[in-house]
Amino acid sequence: MNKREIIIGYEAFQGLDELNSKDQDLCRSAEQALATAYAPYSNFKVAAAVRLKDGKIVTGSNQENLAYPSGLCAERVALFSIGAAYPNAVIESMVVTAHTDKFEITKPVTCCGACLQVISEFEQKQGKPIEIIFYCLGGELLKVKGVRSLLPFSFVEDRLQVEL
C-alpha cells in the first residue's frame, strides 16, 4: 500500500476590490443573475456567470421544481446554455454566488458534485481548465484554477471519447 495526499491550492480574497476588473465584472454579472433564480421552495438563490474566451458572459440561475430532482443548479443552467448556443466556445472562467433572505451567508458557496462533474466535462472538451470563483456577497471570495482542485478524481474515460 502507498499512502498519497492531495493538496488543493486556491486563492482567497477579502472582497471584490482585490480582483482584477474582468473578474469584478463577472462577479457583478453573477450577482445580477440572482434576480432570475426560481427558488420558491428553498428560498436559496444561486447564480453563475461564465466568461467565454471572446469576452461574452453567459449567466444562469438555479431553477427549482416541486419534484426536487427535476430542478437544475445555476452552474449547469449556464454551462448547458453555452453548450446549446455556443458549442465550440472556450470557457475562461466562471463565478458562483448565492443569496437567501432566511439567513446570512458568511462564506462562499461552492458547487455540488454534479456541477463539478459537468465542469470537468467542459474542461475535458476544451482541453483547458476553467478558473472558478466562489463569491460570498459582501465577503470573501475563493478562486481555483480548474475543477481538478475541487474534484481530483473526476470521472474521465478516454475510451468513451467522441470524435468531434
What amino acid positions are annotated as catalytic residues? Answer: 75
- Distance, CA of 154 to CA of 111 (rounded, Å): 14
Burial of 55 (0-12, 13-18, 19+ CB in 10 A): exposed
- Residue 132 pairs with which residues in a beta bridge? 94, 144
CA 100 to chain centre: 18
Q: What is the DSSP string of 120-155?
A: HHHHHHHTS--EEEEE-TTS-EEEEESGGGT-TT--
**C-alpha cell at position 137:** 456577497
**Cell triple for 56:** 461574452
Distance, CA of 55 to CA of 60 (rounded, Å): 16
